[in-house]
Structure 1
Amino acid sequence: MPPTIPQVHALADQMLAIERAMRDAEFWHDEVPSPAAMASRTPFCADTLKFSEWLQFVFIPKMRALIEDNAALPGASAIAPLAEEALEERAGKQALVDELRRFDRLITGNESA
C-alpha cells in the first residue's frame, strides 16, 4: 500500500535528518564505493562496505526513490539497533542512531508525522 501524504512528508524530512546527522558526525563519505562493492548480496553489503557507506549509498537513495515514486514502503524497520553495533564510536554517533530510531518508528507507524 502506498504511503499517505503526511507519511511521505515525514519520511522525506527524516531522510534529510539522517543525512544531516551523518554529516555532523563525519560519517558522510566523499568517495563512492565501486559498483562491485555495492552489488554485494550480503545483507547491508557487510562484506564490502562500512555500515555508514551502506547508509549513504544504498539505504538513503533507495528510500528516497521509494518516497519519490510513492511506492509501497517496508512494513518494518530495525536499522537503529544495527547502527548502534556497527558504527564506530565518535561524537555524533548517538544523534545519528536517534534519527535512525525515528525512521524505524515512522516506518512501523509508531510515530505520527
Structure 2
Amino acid sequence: MDPYEKTAGLLAALELQLHEQGLWQTEPPSEAALSSTMPFAVDMLTCAEWLQWIFLPNMYHVLSERLPLPTAFCIYPYVEEAARQEPGLDAVLPAISALDDWLGGANA
C-alpha cells in the first residue's frame, strides 16, 4: 500500500474516533489559541482541540502536497497523559498508537 494512502487511513480512523467520542467541534478555537507556540498548544487548547485543529490539518496538508512523511514521530505519551483529564480521549489511544507505530519510523 502507498504510504500516503496508509497514513490517510490512519488519520481517518483518528478523526472518526474523535467524532464518535463527541470530541469533534464545529466552531474553531480563537486565532490566539491556534497561534500558540507551546508544544501541542497546551497553554490554549485541549488535546482533542489540538488534534482536530492543528495536527489533522497539518497532516492532511502533508498528504495533499505529498511532502515527506515524518519518521521521528511520537505523540502517544502526550495524548495518553491528556486522556487522564479529558473524558472520551482514551478511546482515541489505539488510533494514536497506530499512527505512532507507522510514522515513528515504520514508513521509512
TM, length-normalised to structure 2: 0.88
**Alpha carbons of structure 1 residues 94 and 56: separation in structure 2 relative to 1, 3 Å:** same
Aligned partners of 1:80 and 1:98 also within 8 Å: no
**Alpha carbons of structure 1 residues 12 and 90: separation in structure 2 relative to 1, 3 Å:** same
Q: Which residue of 1 aligns with 2:33?
A: 37
**Runs of 5+ in structure 1 lacking a partner?**
none
State the AA in 1 paired with 2:50: W
Q: Which residue of 2 aligns with 1:99?
A: 95
State the AA in 2 paired with 1:63: M
Query: For 2:92 and 2:82, how far apart are their aligned partners in 1?
Result: 12
Q: Which residue of 2 aligns with 1:28?
A: 24
Aligned partners of 1:80 and 1:100 also within 8 Å: yes
1:70 matched to 2:66? The reply is: yes
State the AA in 2 paired with 1:10: K
CA RMSD in angstroms comes to 1.7
**Superposition deviation, residue 94 in structure 1:** 3.4
**Runs of 5+ in structure 2 lacking a partner?**
none
Runs of 4+ in 1 over 6 A off after TM superposition: none
* Equivalent position to 2:50, from 29, 44, 54: 54
Count of residues in Structure 1 that have an aligned counterpart in Structure 2: 106
